Amino acid sequence: GAGVSQTPSNKVTEKGKYVELRCDPISGHTALYWYRQSLGQGPEFLIYFQGTGAADDSGLPNDRFFAVRPEGSVSTLKIQRTERGDSAVYLCASSLIADSSQYFGPGTRLLVL
């Protein structure tokens, strides 16, 4: 079956701009996660949804970052007033339930100039 998909695969933007990153989880997976990975590091947790609600957003670095999952399927990570330090690969993962294994999408490579 289809895995986790993410769009766009690459995004180049200018400092101060707004970006949206989209994640489409595996069909039937109720839990969805966003991580951020910088070069040479492991993924860093940002936020996790169980259904439509954010069960844990403790990893969001500041209030410029926001994520939604209005219908319990597709999720959008929104970054306002982007900064060069936001440049990273943004990974989305999903799992059947919160207690089960997480499967990652291909990621969105964000570059802020």
Partner 1 sequence: QKEVEQNSGPLSVPEGAIASLNCTYSDRGSQSFFWYRQYSGKSPELIMFIYSNGDKEDGRFTAQLNKASQYVSLLIRDSQPSDSATYLCAVKENAGGTSYGKLTFGQGTILTVHP
Under the rule (CB under 8 A), what is the footprint of partner 1? 31, 33, 35, 40-45, 48, 50, 55-56, 58-59, 89, 91, 95, 98-99, 101-107
Closer to partner 1 by Cβ: residue 19 or 32: 32
3-state class of 24 per DSSP?
Answer: strand
Closer to partner 1 by Cβ: residue 14 or 53: 53
Closer to partner 1 by Cβ: residue 55 or 113: 55
Smallest gap from residue 16 Cβ to partner 1 (A) = 28
Nearest residue to 70 (alpha-carbon basis) of 55, 51, 56: 51
